[in-house]
Amino acid sequence: DTAVSQTPKYLVTQMGNDKSIKCEQNLGHDTMYWYKQDSKKFLKIMFSYNNKELIINETVPNRFSPKSPDKAHLNLHINSLELGDSAVYFCASSLRGAPGEKLFFGSGTQLSVL
């Protein structure tokens, strides 16, 4: 049983399209994240949700809209995709009251915008 699962693993799409990436965790965690890993492998936090509430929103274009229907799910919707959005997007989860614990990562979604 996968602890943090993301779908799809690969996403190839045209510029201007709208796409969504889904994430689910079965660890009972209350906090979920989206990270973006660019072509140089730099991992940058995008969003963090705690119990469905947005707590971190880094400088991300408003074409990116996260949605957390419940604390086990955090989806990422991207409007009007651009070439620069091509990257690997990682979902992760943790417990808010346990900062010493690791983040559990999904296997990533490789987004290619053509």
Partner 1 sequence: AQTVTQSQPEMSVQEAETVTLSCTYDTSESDYYLFWYKQPPSRQMILVIRQEAYKQQNATENRFSVNFQKAAKSFSLKISDSQLGDAAMYFCAYRSAKNNDMRFGAGTRLTVKP
Binding positions for partner 1, rule: CB under 8 A: 31, 33, 40-45, 48, 50, 55-56, 88, 90, 92, 94, 96, 99-100, 102-103, 105, 107-108, 110
Tell me how far, at minimum, the Cβ of 69 lies from partner 1, in Å.
20
Tell me how far, at minimum, the Cβ of 42 lies from partner 1, in Å.
5
Using CA atoms, how far residue 85 sits from 5, 11, 71, in Å, is 21, 12, 26
Q: What is the dihedral angle through the alpha carbons of 96, 98, 101, 103, rounded to the nearest 10 degrees?
A: 0
Tell me how far, at minimum, the Cβ of 65 lies from partner 1, in Å.
19
CA distance 20 to 61: 15
b (16+ CB within 10 A) / e for 58-85: eeeeeebebebeebbbbbbebeebeeeb
Identify which of residues 75 and 94 has a Cβ nearer to partner 1 in the complex: 94
Tell me how far, at minimum, the Cβ of 109 lies from partner 1, in Å.
10
Q: For residue 32, list its beta bridge partners.
A: 49, 93
Identify which of residues 63 and 96 has a Cβ nearer to partner 1 in the complex: 96
Identify which of residues 72 and 103 has a Cβ nearer to partner 1 in the complex: 103
